[in-house]
């Protein structure tokens, strides 16, 4: 007997029904947890707008609502983000409550008096926990690289659940530590935002204004972007390479915060007192994070491709470039190499040498070349999209702050160079079928250009962006 629907235009084929139902089909697939998350988002929006709406301004309110809407949609698509958002919210509220004394007035000095704030939840303490967790996560990923099963067979085909999606405990542990590190980074960011208002109402600002704050942003954002790739491709072995660039960033952050004292909250310079900052900076760092991931996956691609190469001289360019990737540019500052950066550079050299020495075993545990090639492409495509948006937003911001959309400031010039570099990569990929070793080399060397645009301009050049100078 043939079954038909009593309603015209509908059938009993689930796939067809889903296609025809449009938004209703999307909503019908939401779990109870999704709806709880929606309720939490709406409750947060309502409370914030009621309590602080008068002080936020029209455009800031729109940015806030857009951010929470994006968080809702991303959380509905990826449950891990719901868990992250709730955990950060709970920890941030707990930390903020610790600043309130018996009189009901928040006092910044309680950050050194209350146990939870002093050892876990104040902004600087939470960010230090982030640093430790990311270092240990990186080490754990590498332990898993030498203890798990091979991810590919001898003919290059992928093996089911090999290389450690669920079976490799060390890499599973590294992934969980990375999530906890992201949680602590975001908690520290939220606490720093609150603490800036305790320093002074005119000092309070979203923590995106200096190198210290944006390095925190880069660290957790790059880790989160990698964790999405890990989830999408169901392989954790790439984390050993992706987390290396995060650890390098954290190494810089520790030097910059502890040695230079950059963790202290400072008032915004006039050029940064704009709601454009809340859009331009995050979009820029999605681009930076994606470009960093593509470079490290390119490094992994070349290691796998040359896994059976026995001639060391053929690997010399990879060794040299890999060393430069981890050798922070600051060591070339006038005055020589400090003890901190000398140790950092030595560890970097040993890390690269160890990777190339163990390339055969590492190559067996990496996913297939096709998977890594696709990750490089997706990372650059996403990064290029956000970097383009950030560049346009930056031009609009410049017109408001300095009276012109473009002034060939060194930061602007190098941003254009970065944009052209990845535009050319994508053009060659889409029009000429760029793949394989050349694409990986290009992706890896592209990080040198990006790093100079991010850090080198601040170190060696001066201009309208000199407020970010070291």
Per domain, the residue ranges of the chain are: 78-468
Asked whether the whole model's pTM tops 0.75, one would answer: yes
Average the pLDDT over 367-377 and give the result. Answer: 95
Tokens of 4: 């038909």
Average the pLDDT over 408-434 and give the result. Answer: 92
Tokens of 389: 């948006």
Nearest-5° Cα angle at 12, 6 to 13? 150
pLDDT for residue 154 is more than 60: no
pLDDT bucket at 274, cuts 50 / 70 / 90: confident
Mean pLDDT of the chain: 84
pLDDT of residue 177: 97
pLDDT of residue 443: 93
The most confident of the ranges 252-261, 397-406, 426-435, 451-460 is 426-435
Euclidean distance between CA atoms 357 and 361, whole angstroms: 9
Name the more confident of 165 and 372.
372
pLDDT of residue 10: 42
C-beta atoms surrounding 271 within 10 Å: 16
User: Residue 296 belongs to what H/E stretch?
Assistant: helix 277-305
pLDDT of residue 276: 87
Residue whose structure tokens are 């290396």: 244
Euclidean distance between CA atoms 204 and 407, whole angstroms: 30
pLDDT of residue 309: 65
Over the stretch 222-248, which tens digit does the pLDDT of each residue have?
999 999 999 999 999 999 999 999 998
C-beta atoms surrounding 315 within 10 Å: 18
Average the pLDDT over 138-166 and give the result. Answer: 67
pLDDT of residue 461: 66
Q: Is-contact 269 153, C-beta < 8 A?
A: no
**Least confident window among 2-6, 64-68, 94-98:** 2-6
pLDDT of residue 458: 73
pLDDT bucket at 347, cuts 50 / 70 / 90: confident
């Amino acid at each position: 007997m043939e079954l038909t629907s009593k309603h015209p235009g509908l059938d009993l084929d689930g796939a067809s029904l889903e296609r025809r139902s449009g938004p209703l089909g999307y909503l019908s697939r939401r779990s109870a947890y999704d709806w709880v998350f929606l309720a939490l988002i709406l409750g947060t929006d309502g409370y914030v707008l009621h309590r602080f709406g008068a002080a936020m301004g029209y455009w800031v309110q729109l940015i806030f609502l857009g951010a929470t809407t994006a968080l809702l949609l991303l959380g509905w698509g990826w449950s891990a983000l719901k868990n992250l958002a709730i955990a950060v919210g709970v920890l941030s509220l707990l930390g903020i409550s610790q600043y309130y004394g018996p009189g009901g007035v928040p006092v910044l000095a309680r950050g050194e008096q209350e146990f939870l704030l002093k050892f876990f939840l104040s902004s600087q303490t939470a960010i230090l926990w982030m640093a430790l967790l990311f270092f240990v996560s990186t080490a754990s990923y590498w332990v898993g690289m030498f203890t798990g099963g091979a991810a590919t067979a001898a003919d290059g085909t992928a093996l089911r659940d090999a290389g450690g999606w669920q079976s490799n405990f060390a890499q599973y542990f590294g992934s969980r530590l990375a999530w906890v590190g992201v949680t602590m980074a975001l908690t520290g960011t939220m606490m720093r935002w609150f603490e800036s208002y305790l320093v002074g109402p005119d000092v309070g600002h979203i923590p995106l204004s200096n190198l210290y704050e944006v390095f925190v942003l880069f660290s957790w954002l790059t880790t989160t972007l990698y964790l999405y790739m890990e989830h999408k491709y169901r392989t954790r072995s790439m984390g050993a390479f992706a987390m290396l660039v995060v650890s390098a960033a954290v190494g810089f952050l520790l030097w910059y915060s502890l040695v230079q004292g950059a963790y202290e909250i400072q008032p915004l310079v006039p050029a940064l007192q704009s709601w454009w900052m809340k859009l331009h900076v995050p979009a820029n760092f999605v681009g930076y994070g994606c470009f960093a991931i593509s470079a490290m996956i390119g490094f992994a691609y070349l290691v796998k491709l040359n896994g059976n190469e026995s001639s060391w001289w053929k690997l010399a360019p990879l060794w040299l470039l890999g060393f430069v990737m981890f050798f922070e540019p600051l060591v070339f500052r006038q005055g020589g190499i400090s003890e901190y950066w000398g140790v950092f550079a030595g560890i970097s050299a040993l890390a690269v040498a160890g990777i190339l020495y163990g390339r055969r075993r590492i190559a067996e545990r990496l996913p297939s070349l096709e998977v890594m090639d696709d990750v490089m492409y997706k990372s650059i495509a996403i990064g290029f999209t956000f970097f383009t948006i950030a560049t346009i937003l930056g031009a609009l911001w410049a017109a408001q702050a300095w009276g012109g959309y473009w002034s060939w400031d060194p930061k602007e010039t190098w941003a254009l160079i970065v944009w052209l570099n990845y535009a050319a990569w994508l053009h060659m990929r889409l029009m000429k079928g760029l793949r394989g070793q050349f694409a990986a080399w290009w992706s890896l060397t592209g990080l040198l250009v990006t790093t100079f645009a991010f850090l080198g301009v601040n170190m060696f050049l001066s201009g309208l962006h000199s407020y970010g100078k070291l």
